[in-house]
Amino acid sequence: MTRHRIDLDCQSCAIRNDSVFGGLCAHTLSSVNGYKSTNLYRKGQILFHEGTRPLGIYCINKGKIKLYKLGNEGKEQIIQLAKEGDILGYRAMISEEVYPVSAETLEECNVCFIPKQDFLQMISDNHELYARLFKHACHELGVMAQNVTNLAQKTVRERLAITLIMLKETYGIDHEQEDKVVINLTREDLANIVGTATETLIRLLHDFKEDMIITTKGRKIILENEQELIRIANLF
């Protein structure tokens, strides 16, 4: 796997406050900085494979990464899209289990890595970091449970609407696009999140465009009417 080492300092990290490392004292940050390395990954590179043993944790400094499982016929089911500030692999590492998913970059990414033993020593020595990690894990599990509940008995149309709403958190507001949400995903990846065939997804996106709920520019999807998406999602 080709990757390039880059130099990033935790003290000046622009997204630190969006991660579990936000608010840590200078001494602890110095320790984190000493343990971690940062690499540039190209689009489509794998950080880790489902079923392998964790070697450490990953923290995303820039870019987006998909976490997915492979079905019996090799079809991807995307479980989560991770963004800047998210940490990956820590639950499997702490529980001494294999990775339950694979992680692949969706675009060029800067990713920090802390080796397993160094990170375990850090959370053993630092109660504040351990507490932050525990809180983060609980939040993630709660979000996953809510997502499963939301999607379990929905139609494909409703699931697509829910997915587009949820992706707002991943992609955020694009200030160059009139402060709208712009989702930059292949149709295949989006279909694998929704849990449907790519052809079905394309047909539904066309319907949403006809109803002026979204517009598209190439593979980018721009949310034009979030209230209508919420209505279609039938969440309330």
pLDDT for 200-220, tens place per residue? 999 999 999 999 999 999 999
As a whole-number percent, the residues of the chain with pLDDT over 70 amount to 94
Residue 223 has pLDDT above 90, yes or no: yes
User: Quick one: 21 and 103 in the same domain?
Assistant: yes
Domain boundary among 132, 166, 201: 132
User: Quick one: 124 and 159 in the same domain?
Assistant: no
User: Quick one: 127 and 155 in the same domain?
Assistant: no
pLDDT for position 2 = 61
Q: Which range marks the domain in which residue 196 is found?
A: 151-233
pLDDT for position 1 = 54
Widest CA span of the chain, in angstroms?
Answer: 57
Residue 106 has pLDDT above 90, yes or no: yes
pTM for the full model? 0.83
Rounded CA-CA distance 100/15 in Å is 26
Residue 158 has pLDDT above 90, yes or no: yes
**3 falls in which pLDDT band (50, 70, 90)?**
low
User: Quick one: 50 and 162 in the same domain?
Assistant: no
pLDDT for 53-84, tens place per residue? 999 999 999 999 999 998 877 788 998 899 99
Rounded CA-CA distance 6/180 in Å is 32
Give the domain CATH number at 70.
Answer: 2.60.120.10
Non-local (6+) Cβ contacts of 94 within 8 A are 120
pLDDT, mean over the chain: 89
**29 falls in which pLDDT band (50, 70, 90)?**
confident
User: Quick one: 120 and 169 in the same domain?
Assistant: no
pLDDT for 126-154, tens place per residue? 888 888 888 888 888 877 777 676 667 78
pLDDT for position 159 = 93
**228 falls in which pLDDT band (50, 70, 90)?**
very high
pLDDT for position 166 = 87
Give the domain CATH number at 183.
Answer: 1.10.10.10
**31 falls in which pLDDT band (50, 70, 90)?**
confident
Residues linked to residue 115 through DSSP beta bridges, in sequence order: 56
Give the burial class of 67: count Cβ atoms within 10 A of its Cβ; 0-12 exposed, 13-18 middle, 19 or more buried: buried
User: Quick one: 96 and 157 in the same domain?
Assistant: no
Joined tokens for residue 117 = 């033993």
User: Quick one: 103 and 22 in the same domain?
Assistant: yes
Q: Is residue 145 one of the residues assigned to a domain?
A: no
Rounded CA-CA distance 183/173 in Å is 10
Rounded CA-CA distance 130/86 in Å is 16
pLDDT for position 53 = 96
Residue 177 has pLDDT above 70, yes or no: no
Rounded CA-CA distance 224/205 in Å is 13
User: Quick one: 15 and 122 in the same domain?
Assistant: yes
DSSP string, the chain: ---EEE---GGG-TTGGGSTTTT--HHHHHHHHHH-EEEEE-TT-EEE-TTSPP-EEEEEEES-EEEEEE-TTS-EEEEEEE-TT-EESHHHHHTT---SSEEEESS-EEEEEEEHHHHHHHHHH-HHHHHHHHHHHHHHHHHHHHHHHHHHT--HHHHHHHHHHHHHHHH-EEGGGTTEEEEE--HHHHHHHHTS-HHHHHHHHHHHHHTTSEEEETTEEEES-HHHHHHHHT--
